[in-house]
A and B are shown apart, each in its own frame.
Chain A
Amino acid sequence: MSKKLETAHAGTLESSDAFVRVIPVDAKGIEIELESSVEEIYGDAIRARVLETATAMSVEGVKIIVQDKGALDYVIKARVQTAILRALGEAEPDWSVL
């Protein structure tokens, strides 16, 4: 059973960061929209990381929009997790899945 989400976001547009938006949609699964200056080289890796992060948090029926500003792998992960937690309205995450 997937959890109920609200629209939420995390991060900034600043260099080395990522701006992540989570939007509930009327569809199953996780849709990812990525904009990145390193799209050609790292696009697939970033998408995979976003998907893996969201899946680990058992969310579904969301669109995740990521604007990557040259963020490290863990920054993307942190931003996606924060945005999802905000979307779920959960203050205390399950650290073991993060």
Chain B
Amino acid sequence: MSFVFSEVPHTSIVRWQKVKDFLQSVDLEMSEDVEIFVVAKEDDRIVACGGLSGKVLKNIALDESLRGEGLALSLMSELLKVAFREGRHELFLFTKPDYQEVFESCGFKYIEQAHHQVILMENSYNIDLYKKRLRKYKHTGDVVGSIVMNCNPFTLGHRFLVEQACERSHWVHLFVVKEDASFFTFKDRYRLICEGLVDLENLTIHEGSDYIISKATFPTYFIKDKRQIDSLYTELDLNIFRNHLAPQLGITHRFVGEEPLCAVTNEYNQQMKKLLARPSEAPPIEVVELGRIEYGGEPISASRVRKLMQHNRLEEILPLVPPTTYALIATMMSKEEAK
């Protein structure tokens, strides 16, 4: 059997729809963030496809009748070729545990799983390199804290949280979520965090990594029960943190902001407590919820700052953020006005 392979970029509307139809025929939704698809055709009919979204391969699907290793391997060869050409050499994919072996035969290695329903794989041994790098930052102590933050943008609320964590720990590791799906770019977010915390002495700020997965890249198309998406994502993220990252740094505690009002985040915090403490080969991590500081009767949060930006109320942002963040926002808003 010979298959013809071709690329379908997001810009070709007619062919894009055909890919969508094919995915539907195998009971999958199309991931909205795919930039380019590779499709295999037999007699002008799509029989397999796979998409590239940033560093993540998504929507890899084969026609039921042709599910043999031959087509899967040819498809993956083409998809990898396209990804490499686009300069994406370190690739990830999320899949069902059933397909672990198929992707292993394509050079992908298992990293972590969630609830026996989702696994994360990568095509390099970069997680080992990353772990090795992390070990250089290890500080021993009874309480080694950790915080994972997006800081979109960095506020006095964040600052308060980190201060509290530093007071209670020998050392604190702060991880900044890396991906660029936020309003503020990673570069800006990272810079504001560094500048806003420069006076804290028992703190390491980590540039984030591909191993702190962002919700934005977590695919949902193959998870049938949509109510499970959040918990599967959380579990995968926390399993990686606990089993791979935390042990390298001897982390004993994880600090989070208290969320009495937001049900989703509260749920997340409760799940985190449970998952990071349950029996495992890696040592347990205690989750500590810290109270939020308020200004004007309301907690200070990044979303509050973004809302004020939208309404052009620069003067009200001033008491919520450190001067460095304020300076950036002021510049951004004056540029916006100039337009």
Contacts and interface: CB of A to CB of B under 8 A. Distances in A.
A and B touch in the complex (CB under 8 A): yes
A12 B89 contact: no
Contact of B107 (A8, A15, A35): A35
A12 B107 contact: no
Contact of A19 (B69, B107, B125): B107
A33 B126 CA distance: 13
B84 to A, nearest CB: 5
Interface residues of B, number: 14
Interface residues of A, number: 16
A13 B73 contact: yes
A23 to B, nearest CB: 7
Nearest to A11: B77
A73 interface: no
Contacts, number: 37
Given A7-B89, A35-B107, A15 B84 contact: no
Interface string A60-98: 000001010100000000000000000000000000000
**Chain A interface SS verdict (over half):** strand
B73 to A, nearest CB: 4
A12 B70 CA distance: 11
A14 interface: yes
Interface of B: 69-70, 73-74, 76-77, 80-81, 84, 89, 105-107, 125
5 contacts: A12-B74, A12-B77, A14-B70, A14-B77, A67-B107
- Ranked nearest first, the 10 interchain pairs of A and B with the lowest CB-CB distance are A12-B77, A13-B73, A13-B77, A67-B107, A14-B73, A13-B106, A9-B84, A7-B89, A13-B76, A14-B74
